[in-house]
Amino acid sequence: MALQDSSETTMPIQGENLLNEYGKDISLLSDEELEILVSIRVAPEQDERLHCLLEMHRDGALEPSEQAELERLMTLFEGNVLKQSQAGAELARRKRLRAAHV
């Protein structure tokens, strides 16, 4: 499976398609895909934008469009952290199963 950036967001998370493709059933991913998913990091530009928006929010200086962008980024990041956690748990489960069958 080729990793591609999604065009749904202005500044996509690297590998976001993999995050979304099997979001409901992480067990369908191969070990290699799970390892890739666990290692995905936020694009530096997106991380910088999030920090900027959070700082502006703290200062009470967000425009409505920026508030919407902040909410979208936070939802995206939180969902990705959850999927990465699930991928890590699935890898650990598979490792235990392999060890039990040795």
Could you tell me the residue ranges of all domains in the chain?
16-100
Q: Is the pLDDT of residue 5 over 80?
A: no
Q: Which tokens belong to 53?
A: 């928006």
CB 94 within 8 A of CB 31: yes
Give the residue, 71 or 23, on which the prediction is more confident.
71
- C-alpha angle with apex 54: 53 to 56, nearest 5 degrees? 65
- Residues 6 or more apart in contact with residue 72 via CB below 8 angstroms: 9
* pLDDT score at 19: 62
**CB neighbours of residue 13 within 10 Å:** 22
Residue found under tokens 């920026």: 66
Task: Label residue 20 by pLDDT band (50, 70, 90).
Answer: low
pLDDT digits (tens, 9 = 90+) for 52-96: 999 999 999 999 999 999 999 998 888 888 889 999 999 999 999
